[in-house]
Structure formats: structure tokens, C-alpha cells
Amino acid sequence: EDQVTQSPEALRLQEGESSSLNCSYTVSGLRGLFWYRQDPGKGPEFLFTLYSAGEEKEKERLKATLTKKESFLHITAPKPEDSATYLCAVQAGGGAQKLVFGQGTRLTINP
């Protein structure tokens, strides 16, 4: 069964303190790994898609990386506005039509 596990569940950082969020996955034939940001009471906002091991994507203070078993979302010198829940999801191959989501990491950046 396809599965996604995110860690930690919650992370509190000081402004400027860099860190990483982890997304471990087991999936039959990965067709894509997706990162989203979700603010309270809102729908998830798409950040990155990674398709193959070794791929990296960057956007402002965020950088996503992918291996054959996990993905990391690195956040460099975060600001309070980076506070949100970050969701990871995988798309399996073999005709599967759904994304499987992890439970998310709730990130809080203190000024």
C-alpha cells in the first residue's frame, strides 16, 4: 500500500534558524512527489513537483530534494510569514489516479 510519513509533526524555529522537514514514502512506481503549503482555514497551495531521485527545486527560502525513499524540504533563514503546515504527497504509477498525502508538518517561526 502506498504510504507517506512526514516528520516532525510540529517544528518551532526562531527567525533565521534554518532546518529541514522530512517526507518518507513507499509507493509503487513514483510518478511525482508534491509539496504544498497550507495556511489555517485555506486550501493547500502548490509549491514543488519532483519526479526523479536527485532532482532539486528552489523557491525563495525553500528548497526541495528527492531520493528514492524520501524528500526533504529545506528552509533557509525562515521568516514569520513562512509559518504554515507543509504537506507532502505522492502520485503512484500503474494507473493510480489519486495523490496520497502525509499528515503534514506544522511549522512555526517565532520573530
Partner 1 sequence: DGGITQSPKYLFRKEGQNVTLSCEQNLNHDAMYWYRQDPGQGLRLIYYSQIVNDFQKGDIAEGYSVSREKKESFPLTVTSAQKNPTAFYLCASRHRTDSPLHFGNGTRLTVT
Residues near partner 1 (CB under 8 A) are 4, 31-32, 34, 36, 41-46, 49, 51, 87, 89, 91, 96-104
* Residue number with CB closer to partner 1 (9 or 15): 9
Residue 31's nearest CA partner among 6, 63, 62, 2 is: 2
Amino acid at 28: S
* Residue number with CB closer to partner 1 (5 or 18): 5
- Least CB distance to partner 1 at residue 17 (A): 25
> Quick check: 84 and 39 in contact, CB under 8 A?
yes
3-class secondary structure, 71 = strand
- Least CB distance to partner 1 at residue 42 (A): 5
* Residue number with CB closer to partner 1 (7 or 103): 103
Max Cα distance, the chain (Å): 46
